[in-house]
Amino acid sequence: MYDYANLLFTGKKCNLRCYDCIGQHPELKGLPSNIDEFPPKNINSLIEQVNLHNIRDLAVTGTNTDPQLYMHEAELIQYIRSRLTKNTKLSLHTNGLLALKKIDVFNSYDKASITFHSFNPEIYHKITGSDKQPDLRQIIQESKIPIKLSMLITPYNIEEMDSYIKKTSELGIKRVVIRKLEGKEDEYPLEKLEPFKNINPIKYIYGWPVYNINGIEVTICGFSDVQASVLYLFSDGRLSNRLKQK
């Protein structure tokens, strides 16, 4: 019934101030903080649904904060794994700033997605409000799990897609997700820009086109056109779903 599930953390603050942070969207504003709550409210119901529907991917992510700011991250991973009865992959969606500091916890997941908007420090600062970038090379060296990069397209980095993918290839990373701004998916017709305009997708995942560029699988995704059924656990304990259109 579901393609994947998301455990969402909400906090009082984040270690970045990202451009068009999804946590500032009206439907996510006003959620209570659960960044220091253990276990997260209604987590058992989420795990029951994951087991019941044999959901293959359970992502630990956030609305307006980074999940690695969660005060009980290691305990949570153990808690979830002890209750999973199916072969579910536990994934981390993070900005990477705490990955090295918590590398043992980072490696306790099955895989990780690091949101990294630009290799250019000035552009990165414009998008995140931070002068500190995660040390991707060191994270990759110390990681024992697969890593992909996630890049949100903004007016600041729209011209960097080609160079971004090349630098990702140099790091040895094999997967990149390029995300469109929610509610503004038509603002940048990425498929018509370099390096995508003269090549065809090799496949589609959840309705999103996937390209092979320099040996990297590059997925262009947008929230409004996703063809996936997703289960969410919000910080207030509310279980909600988004079902694919038939």
pLDDT in the model for residue 244: 59
**Domain 4-242 class in CATH:** alpha beta
Give the C-alpha separation, 16 to 64, whole Å. 9
Q: How far apart are CA 119 and CA 114, in angstroms?
A: 13
Question: Which of 41-45, 89-93, 184-188, 241-245 has the weakest average pLDDT?
Answer: 241-245
SS3 56: coil
39-78 per-position pLDDT tens digit: 999 999 999 999 999 999 999 999 999 999 999 999 999 9
Q: H or E element: which one contains 244?
A: none
pLDDT at 246 (0 to 100): 42
- Taking the domains of the chain in order of start, what are their residue ranges? 4-242
Q: How far is CA 236 from CA 13, 26, 51, 185, in A?
A: 17, 15, 22, 28
Of 91-95, 154-158, 179-183, which one has max mean pLDDT?
Answer: 91-95
> Three-class SS of residue 186?
coil
What is the 8-class DSSP label of residue 113? E
SS3 state of residue 48: helix
* Average pLDDT for 167-178: 96
Helix axes 73-83, 43-52, angle to 10 degrees: 40
